[in-house]
Amino acid sequence: MVGASPAGFRLARPCSVAIRDEENCASPASAPCHRSASRDCLVGHGVSTAQNVHGSADTAPVSSHVSVSAGRPGSVRVPTGVSDPSTSARTSASPLRRAVHVSLLESDGGVYGVGMPIIAWFTRAPADAAAFEKAATVRVNGAPAGGAWYWEKSAHQGAAVEAHDRPQHYWPAHAKIRMTAPVKGLSAGKGLAYDDSMTLSLSTGAANIATVDGHSERMTVTSDGKKVFSFPVSLGAADHPTYGGTKVVMEKDRVQEMKSSPGEPYYDLKVPWSVRLTNSGEFVHSASWNGGNIGIRSTSHGRTNLNVAATQQYFRFARIGDVFTYTNTGGPTMPSWDGYGDWNVPWSAWQAGGIL
């Protein structure tokens, strides 16, 4: 940005950040609303300091619960090991195999936008994902979702890899989604087995789609196909271009602290009405200091700048999992690992499964 605008940066690696879900929080200030974080992880234009809610692997008792809890990721305790089957993928209790514990990002009973992937974290990388993929089922309104799991390395604290499930196209609006994974005791490959089973029930809200065009400097929002907003914006300048492609709302914060990166002019701002779109620091947020450029030219450090009144309107409307599509930004397509960039992976590549 120009004048008093803050500087920013991008990470050289993926970064797991706190997720604050205003939609599914009983109390906006309640701690459980911050659902996952990698501590002391610099993110573009800010620092995440939230704590990870999970314990470390192989230190917890065998007893566990199965389904995810509202307001935080599904969490089950990790036993020290599970048995080693000789002729079957399913095992009985014995400490011969190292446990692979799986937890989920989504809250059981939560309501999300149509772009939200189901995200599972694994404490150890399965040597073979076949048993998990065969056992785990996802149904939409009672029918098979027809989606696929995509595996990638994870920056989430305590996770070696993560798997995302999505269908070929966005989830239907106003739908009931049910995931079951009866994987307890199943083989995760040589020397590994899953330590528990899990279930997840969630819903989608309206199909909220925001389209942001760098040529027109305009953000247009539709809900179930009907236009609800059209706001002027200022995107990233040529030396700090905004990512193109499809992004998904990750987090909403009424106040987001944004700090300068090393080597840049110092700033420490409390920016209101901030909606996170990437791990590396792309937000939709108010930018009173950049009002002269909003709707006219792109001058930011990669963020989507709106006027204060417009940002308040969008913030109250937005839901975690809502979709953004960016065109004509001058920047590269958002990589899949930098947030929920799942929809930027071609379907054929997605079906191939990623790293597993």
Q: What percent of the chain is predicted at pLDDT more than 70? A: 73
- pLDDT at 159 (0 to 100): 97
Q: Residue 210: is its pLDDT beyond 90?
A: yes
Q: In angstroms, what CA-CA distances link 228 with 221, 233, 295? A: 6, 16, 18
CATH number of 31-50+206-344: 2.40.440.10
What secondary structure does DSSP assign to 144-183, as a single string?
E---EEEEEE--STT-SEEEEEE-SSPPPTT-EEEEEE--
Question: How many whole angstroms from its chain centre is CA 262?
Answer: 26
- The 10s digit of each residue's pLDDT in 302-345 is 999 999 999 999 999 999 999 999 999 999 999 999 999 999 99
- The 10s digit of each residue's pLDDT in 51-79 is 232 333 332 233 333 333 333 344 333 33
Indicate the pTM of the whole model: 0.75
Tabulate helix, strand, coil % of the chain (nearest 5): 10, 35, 60
Q: What percent of the chain is predicted at pLDDT more than 90? A: 66
- pLDDT at 86 (0 to 100): 35
- The 10s digit of each residue's pLDDT in 245-294 is 999 999 999 988 887 778 777 878 888 999 999 999 999 999 999 999 99
Q: Which of 344, 72, 71, 323 is nearest to 206 (CA)?
A: 323
Q: Residue 203: is its pLDDT beyond 70?
A: yes
**Cβ–Cβ < 8 Å for 107, 68:** yes
Confidence of residue 187 (pLDDT cuts 50, 70, 90): very high
Q: Residue 99: is its pLDDT beyond 70?
A: yes
Q: Which of 262, 328, 336 is nearest to 9 (CA)?
A: 262
Q: Where are the domains of the chain?
A: 31-50+206-344
Q: In angstroms, what CA-CA distances link 263 with 7, 40, 224, 271? A: 10, 19, 45, 21
Amino acid at position 293, single letter: N
Overall average pLDDT of the 3-27 stretch: 39
Q: Which of 208, 104, 239 is nearest to 159 (CA)?
A: 104
Overall average pLDDT of the 20-27 stretch: 42
- pLDDT at 265 (0 to 100): 73
Mean pLDDT of the chain: 80
Overall average pLDDT of the 23-44 stretch: 36
Q: Which of 8, 4, 43, 2 is nearest to 261 (CA)?
A: 8
Q: In angstroms, what CA-CA distances link 255 with 46, 103, 252, 286? A: 12, 28, 9, 11
Confidence of residue 95 (pLDDT cuts 50, 70, 90): low
Q: b/e map of 162-196 (b: 16 or more CB within 10 Å)?
A: bbbbbbeebbebeeebebbbbbbbbbbbeebbbbb
